[in-house]
Amino acid sequence: MSKKRMRQHYGKIKLFRGSASPELSNKIADHLELELEGHELIQFPNENLFVKLDKSVRGQDCYMIQTTSSPVHDNLMELLISLQTLRLDSAARVTAVVPYLCYARSDKKDQPRVPITARLVADMISAEADRYMTFDLHAGQIQGFFSIPGDVLSTFSILIEHLKPMLPDMHEPVVVTADLGFAKKARNFAEKLETPLALIEKRRTGNDATATAMGLIGDINGHDVILVDDEIDTGGSIAEAVHLGKEFGAREIYVIFVHAVLSGDAAKRLAALPVKKFICTDTIPMSEEDQAVFGDRLTILTIADLLAEVILRANEGRSVGALFDE
């Protein structure tokens, strides 16, 4: 089947911007040289949401871009209602583009009488969308929670490309992960950067967001440390990891993470740490106030170009894995 016929089958790309991802959506649209489609979003006095499309999308290939960060439930419901609106208007295909998936840490029953909320969120998205796209899930098994096909993308290449030119200025750098659950990804990270790997063992002691760092596996004494994690929420784990790193003789510390959740006063907590550089992505928009707290120590890398290319390839029926040599 020719590319032209595949485009006709799915229709033209129609991009929709959720209220949680305005800047990212604009960048994606600019990269694809497309206009964002208009729609009306109203919140009634009873907090119910109402969505109405400005134009028909019948027979078109629609992409709803909406991250599900804070306010989580408002953003999640807006996503679900928007997806259903597109589907009921007879779009040829509806894709949920969710750079950050909420509840991803609730991915298993690790104690009696608890839910698997990540599965619930996946079920709700699957009920209204034909496909999904997301970045750096907390655990790989979450892909199996969806009953629709999707693209689970990684910011790995973006972060590596930014870090490699920095390596010559670092002193014998070592990649360190603050979470054993992130160890496999951290190992791949270290292999690409051609650096040693060290691990921080931590143990979660309750059902809240706190965890206790226990010890270090590996040698970082006299080395610069590249501390990597998938997301930072309250900043407690990273703070303990930084302090532990200093106790074990780390020189400069660079904190690298994908999702800047930054709940409460996390930005202030992080900015107070003895960290040379913070590097993250824009899967979650960071407020100007939080950016100001970090000052020039913060670098935010955009996923827009990569996501735009994936959307284009999905529309044309081309391989997404080829982007990552897979």
Active-site amino acid positions:
202
Question: How far is C-alpha 162 from the chain's CA centre?
Answer: 17
φ, ψ of residue 102 in degrees (nearest 5): -70, 160
Please classify residue 68 by burial: count the beta carbons closer than 10 Å to its beta carbon, then call 0-12 exposed, 13-18 middle and 19+ buried. Answer: buried
- From the list 176, 231, 233, 178, the residue with the least C-alpha distance to 201 is 178
- Among the listed residues 183, 281, 186, the one whose alpha carbon sits nearest the alpha carbon of residue 231: 281
CB distance 304 to 145 below 8 Å? no
What 3-state DSSP class applies to 115? coil
Find out whether 42 and 34 touch, Cβ atoms under 8 Å.
Answer: no
Cα 97 to Cα 36: distance, rounded to the nearest angstrom: 14
What single letter denotes the amino acid at residue 146? F
Which residues, in sequence order, are bridge partners of residue 197?
A: 175
- DSSP state at residue 37: B
CA distance 242 to 253: 7
Pair of tokens at residue 101:
């998936």
Cα distances from 96 to residues 22, 100, 162, 283, in angstroms, run 15, 11, 28, 14
For 232, the token pair is: 């930072």
SS3 of residue 202 by DSSP: strand
